[in-house]
Copies of this chain bind each other. A is one copy, B any other.
Amino acid sequence: MSDKSAGDSGVRDDSRPVVYDLAPDCTITDVSPDDHYHAVVNGVVDYGVFVDISDTVSGLIHESNLDRSYDVGDRLVVTLDSQKENGDIAFAIPAFDDYRTELREHEPDITPINELETGETVTVEGRLVQIKQTGGPTIFEATDGTGIVSGAAFEEAGVRAYPDAAVDDAVRITGDVELHDDVRQLEIESLTVLADETAAAARETIDETLSERATPADIEPLVEWPAFEPIFDDLAALAERLRQTVLEGRPIRIRHHADGDGMCGATPLQLALENFIAEVHADPDAPEHLCKRLPSKAPYYEMEDVTRDLNFALEGQDRHGQKLPLLVMLDNGSTEEDVPAYRNLAHYDIPIAVLDHHHPDPEAVDPLLDAHINPYLYGEDYRITTGMMSVELARLIDPSISDDVEHVPAVAGLSDRSKADVMPRFVFRAKEAGYDRDDLEAIGEALDYAAHWLRYNEGKTLVNDVLDVGCDDSERHERLIEFLAERAERDVERQLDALEPHVEHERLDSEAHLYRIDLDNFAHRFTYPAPGKTTGNLHDRKVTETGEPVITIGYGPDFAVLRSDGVRLDIPRMVTELNEELPGAGVSGGGHLVVGSIKFVKGRRESVIDLLVEKMADADLDESLSSTAPLE
């Protein structure tokens, strides 16, 4: 900033050449051709003189470049002329004699974190991502874009080492790579917080490396499908974001709908992320600690779930110095009902990415999201299921899983009864991978059945075995599917048989069939299938039996599940109207044209159902409409 910075002479002459005075420990990596150095003669031979410019860097000035003779010990200024592959260096003697001298410290060799080897003493340059004070050393975690490493610095028991270093600082760390509790760790000898230009340069290198490593795989979607292209581009951007998140040491928490499509979406993504985390971290427990998958029972992000997630994240930060996580919502998260939960997180540094195919409310949720991928936002609809999209996301993160997940989009689609145009291609692709249509449907049923009994448990290995993703024994997968699918089917039959005598049927003015069932009184409770799926199964059976427009209502004490085929219901509008016409019935809920669920207060059930049926009787027929089960 000031002109007074020119040096002792008081004379400013920036145009003078710089001659470097190398520190004794400078190595070949600290010198560059055409730079000038202070040198000392260490040998005189016929063909020239040898000079040292540091303890280990020497070279020859050929006699042709000499204009006078030198003795050992003479000081002079030299210019680095050339450097051969074998390490030989040739110097020349520069023409100038007015210059300024700059000291140059040894720039240590920086080892990329993913190349650290136990037993070496190394220097790494990276950005701090986590700092934890233990009762002994302080633990620093740094990323350089190639990987993440932990280092222990000991000042005094329980005393914070390098108190000036903060998360996100660019630092240079020198230390020994050792094994600590079976995990590679740096025993830190020195940690320097970089400043100014050095910091800026380091940050740039780290960001470049990180950005390069975050680049998603250059792959094609599993099946050709023009409508999918814009979605695929955004999935690639999300894949990059997630890889970057891993490279920055931030945990990831996946909240997914606990049904077939949700599981098909979550399982490959978890596998891909865990693989990449294992690659980035030396600690084999890192995938376990940094990627958590949790099923959600409700079709939206409940306050209880978000409170638990936030609490977990804050404890991780408090106890382990972990960053707050990035949240991925899968097959869930696009609707206005998710807003309260998101607003709860908005006060913390918790980015949110949503991958969903339920009818979205972008105006409500987008201001709170960091990424939002939903087929409706691309002019498509729920027929593109979450599982179809998430499999591609997973492959973009780790393409090595491709062979293992080829069949998953077909399972997801069949599980959600998707009538997407692309379904036959997914089914064909799955067939090539060895799964015929019956297998795929059985996997979907088995997944749903397993999800039901797992309740709030992640059930990783079991789900992997059922879905045949990361399952090492295909025979076991097959036997498991056979058992679970058969069992699921049997339980559905049993449930429908119990209901059948109690189903009320009427023919609406529109000629549509209306079926009503009191689930509280006539369904087996607290077992598989639960009310939503029970209603769906009953509806499917009635559609098949009649071949005509059908509406099905399954109701409990304070809720009703709605399904229709060939009738345009527009459930959100009905909810609005019910609320106006029945004050104090506390009607809420949602869905779309052919599927939905509503809640109300127990004491007004009769009025709500009666009025609902009245409205349904007025609904127009529309052959093109058919219900799938995404809201279930």
Contacts and interface: CB of A to CB of B under 8 A. Distances in A.
Interface of A: 117-118, 133-137, 154, 156-158, 179, 181-184, 282-285, 288, 303-304, 307-308, 310-311, 314-315, 317-319, 340, 343-344, 346-348, 450, 453-455, 457, 459-462, 465, 476, 479-480, 483-484, 487, 494, 497-502, 518, 520-525, 528, 558, 583-586, 599, 601-604
Contacts of A303: 453, 528
A593 B459 CA distance: 40
Contacts of A308: 454, 457
Nearest to A449: B303
B603 A522 contact: yes
A347 B134 CA distance: 38
B307 A344 contact: no
Given A522-B603, A524-B586, A584-B501, A282 B158 contact: yes
Contacts of A498: 584-586, 601
Q: Copy number of this protein in the oligomer?
A: 3
Given A311-B459, A525-B558, A487 B340 contact: yes
Contacts of A520: 602-603
A525 B311 contact: no
A55 to B, nearest CB: 32
A585 B521 CA distance: 10
Contacts of A307: 450, 453-454, 457, 459, 462
Given A483-B344, A584-B500, A584-B501, A182 B136 contact: yes
Contacts of A137: 179, 182
15 contacts: A135-B282, A136-B179, A136-B183, A154-B179, A158-B284, A307-B459, A308-B457, A310-B462, A311-B462, A318-B460, A344-B487, A497-B584, A521-B601, A522-B586, A522-B601
* Closest CB pairs A-B (n = 10): A521-B603, A501-B584, A136-B182, A314-B461, A498-B586, A134-B182, A307-B453, A135-B183, A135-B284, A136-B179
A310 to B, nearest CB: 6
A583 B497 CA distance: 9
B284 A346 contact: no
A43 B85 CA distance: 63
Contact of A315 (B158, B315, B460): B460
B523 A601 contact: yes
B343 A483 contact: yes
Given A461-B315, A524-B601, A304 B347 contact: no
A420 to B, nearest CB: 31
B347 A311 contact: no
A490 B586 CA distance: 14
Q: For A137, A157, A346, A583, which residue has the most chain B Cβ atoms within 10 angstroms? A: A157
Nearest to A525: B558
A461 B500 CA distance: 50
A263 to B, nearest CB: 14
A483 B182 contact: no
Contact of A347 (B158, B480, B521): B480
Contacts of A603: 502, 518, 520-522
Nearest to A463: B311
Contact of A462 (B179, B182, B183, B314): B314
B282 A157 contact: yes
Nearest to A313: B461
A276 to B, nearest CB: 16
Contact of A135 (B285, B348, B459, B602): B285
Contacts of A135: 179, 182-184, 282-285
Contacts of A311: 454, 457, 459, 461-462
Contact of A304 (B133, B157, B181, B455): B455
Nearest to A137: B182
A70 to B, nearest CB: 50
Contacts of A500: 584
A355 B134 CA distance: 34
Nearest to A582: B501
A280 to B, nearest CB: 13
A347 to B, nearest CB: 5
Contacts of A184: 135-136, 157-158
Nearest to A465: B314
Nearest to A487: B340
Nearest to A521: B603
Nearest to A588: B524
A547 B455 CA distance: 48
A115 to B, nearest CB: 12
A114 B594 CA distance: 69
Given A118-B157, A500-B584, A521-B604, 19 more contacts: A118-B156, A134-B183, A135-B182, A135-B183, A135-B285, A136-B181, A157-B183, A303-B453, A308-B454, A310-B462, A311-B462, A314-B460, A314-B465, A347-B476, A494-B586, A498-B584, A498-B586, A501-B584, A520-B603
A602 B450 CA distance: 26
Q: For A156, A182, A288, A525, which residue has the most chain B Cβ atoms within 10 angstroms? A: A182
A534 to B, nearest CB: 12
Contacts of A118: 156-157
